[in-house]
Amino acid sequence: MKGIQPSSTLNVLGLAKELERHGKKVIHMEVGEPDFDTPTHIKKAAEEALARGMTKYTSSLGMPELREAIAEHLKTKGIDTEMKNVIVTPGAKHAIFCAMAAALDPGDEVVIPSPCWTYEAMVRIVGGKPVFVKTARKNGFKLEVEEVQKVLTPKTKMLLLNYPNNPTGAVMEGDELRPIVDLAVDRKLWVISDEIYDSLVYKGKHASLLSFPEMVGRTVYINGFSKVYSMTGWRLGYAVAPAELVAEMNKIQQASTSCPASFVQSAGVAALRGPQDFTEKMRREFQKRRDEIVKGLNSIDGVDCPKPGGAFYVFPSIEKLNIPSLEFCEVLLRKADVAAVPGSGFGPYGEGHVRFSYATSMENIKEVVKKIKEVVGDLRTRK
């Protein structure tokens, strides 16, 4: 465990909370959660479930009603699956963890495109070896198959895909995924496809890995309720995988958490079976905020912010400022009370960037841009 770095997002959050404890008013641009409340009908479903006495363990795979609702919901996205392929977990994070623990042997290599979210720690905890490949800003941070080919060894067991991407917001379309699909089939790789931001796409058309029939037997599809229904604190996610792997993941769930909370699962059924307009409203609002923050950041000398296609993060380059991203975020927090995550927290190819979540009010976004402009102005005159 000594070799595993703590989550930089949670580290920044911790420092920001400490400043708040001392009376500072921090604008939180670091956390990865929508600022909308969970829709009322979902909260009501949880209350009703509690009132009905839904207070006991469920099947460790998750409640059959929920697994069925997930399979049906996925059909609306063009994904053809069945309840036997679905396992429900306390958060998508745990689903990824179960999949890695089930599929990897010690020393197996997992190819991770970087900048990337917190997968490295998970791979290391289960005894695997993360192998990073670079995705580049000039290419919209999309994964190029040649980069993956360069790092393949006989030990390569798994490829990790996350589109729409955290932190870059990159979206991969069907034709862009094609060469990667061919490679995964050819090299018999497992692919974990974390598609948790699939309903927050602004540009281009997200393609699910499960829309490729040849990938069905080698994909662990990950999704959840945190982002799409603004339910981060409820801890509810799921995986779709071949039934044999689901059985192994289930053993890990049985040995670790038993099952997600029962009344939370009831709320999950209500989320999937109820009205879906909430997500579209949120998506439209995020799109306006994205446009505002991209415009604002690009008006700052030395900051270069590409317009992301999905999720709710921007990942501007601060390379021209010649300052390590961690130091930049520390200055931003201490001098301007703005919390953001240094690019160095997103694998070996994140340095030179900063991640801002725009899941915050338009007012905050405008204020933050002003504050960053001041901090950057100070930094440039100091040099």
In the block, residue with structure tokens 């603004």:
230
Q: Of the two residues 66 and 375, which places its CB atom closer to ligand PLP in the complex? A: 66
Q: How far apart are CA 344 and CA 355, in angstroms?
A: 10
- 10 Å CB burial of residue 202 (0-12, 13-18, 19+) is buried
223-242 positions binding ligand PLP, by CB under 6 A? 224, 226, 232, 237
d(CA 339, CA 249): 36
CB closer to ligand PLP out of 117 and 141: 117
Q: How far is the CB of 32 from ligand PLP (least distance, A)?
A: 4
At its nearest, how many Å lie between ligand PLP and the CB of residue 383? 34
Whole-angstrom CA distances from 361 to 112, 230, 231, 286, 302 are: 32, 15, 18, 9, 25
User: Which region among 87-95, 104-112, 148-156, 282-290 touches ligand PLP (by CB under 6 A)?
Assistant: 87-95
CB of 233 to ligand PLP, least distance (A): 9
Cβ proximity to ligand PLP, 157 vs 227, nearer residue? 227
Interface region with ligand PLP, contact rule CB under 6 A, candidates 47-55, 74-82, 89-97, 134-142: 89-97
Closest approach, Cβ 91 to ligand PLP, in A, equals 3
Tell me if 169 sits within 8 A of 313, measured CB to CB: yes
Contact 191, 219 (CB under 8 A): yes
Structure tokens at 188: 């018999």
Cα(185)–Cα(205) distance, rounded to whole angstroms?
23
3 state SS for 305-316: CCCCCECCEECC
Residue nearest ligand PLP (C-beta atom): 91
> How many residues are listed for the chain in this entry?
383
Q: Going edge to edge, which strands form the sheet with 354-357?
A: 313-314, 354-357, 341-342
Can residue 32 be called a binding residue for ligand PLP (CB under 6 A)? yes
Find out whether 239 and 89 touch, Cβ atoms under 8 Å: yes
- What part of residues 168-207 is at the interface with ligand PLP (CB under 6 A)? 194, 196
Nearer CB in complex with ligand PLP: 117/358: 117
Considering only 8, 58, 114, 162, the residue that binds ligand PLP (CB under 6 A) is: 162
| Residue 219 exposed, middle or buried by CB count within 10 Å (0-12, 13-18, 19+) | buried
Rule CB under 6 A: say whether 115 interacts with ligand PLP: no
Minimum CB separation of residue 186 from ligand PLP in Å reads: 26
DSSP 360: S
| Residue nearer to ligand PLP on the CB measure, 224 or 306 | 224
Cβ burial of 146 (10 Å; 0-12, 13-18, 19+) is exposed
Can you read off the two tokens belonging to residue 316? 């501007």
3-class secondary structure, 88 = strand
User: Near ligand PLP by CB under 6 A, which window of 48-56, 91-99, 354-362, 364-372?
Assistant: 91-99
Stretch touching ligand PLP by CB under 6 A, among 86-94, 149-157, 255-263, 355-363:
86-94
Cα separation, 95 vs 90, whole angstroms: 8
Pick the stretch among 36-44, 85-93, 333-341, 350-358 that binds ligand PLP (CB under 6 A): 85-93
- Residue 91 in contact with ligand PLP, rule: CB under 6 A: yes
| Shortest Cβ 230–ligand PLP spacing (Å) | 11
Q: How many residues of this chain interact with ligand PLP, rule: CB under 6 A? A: 13
Residue among 156 and 230 whose Cβ is closer to ligand PLP: 230
Q: By CB under 6 A, name the binding residues for ligand PLP.
A: 32, 91-93, 117, 162, 166, 194, 196, 224, 226, 232, 237
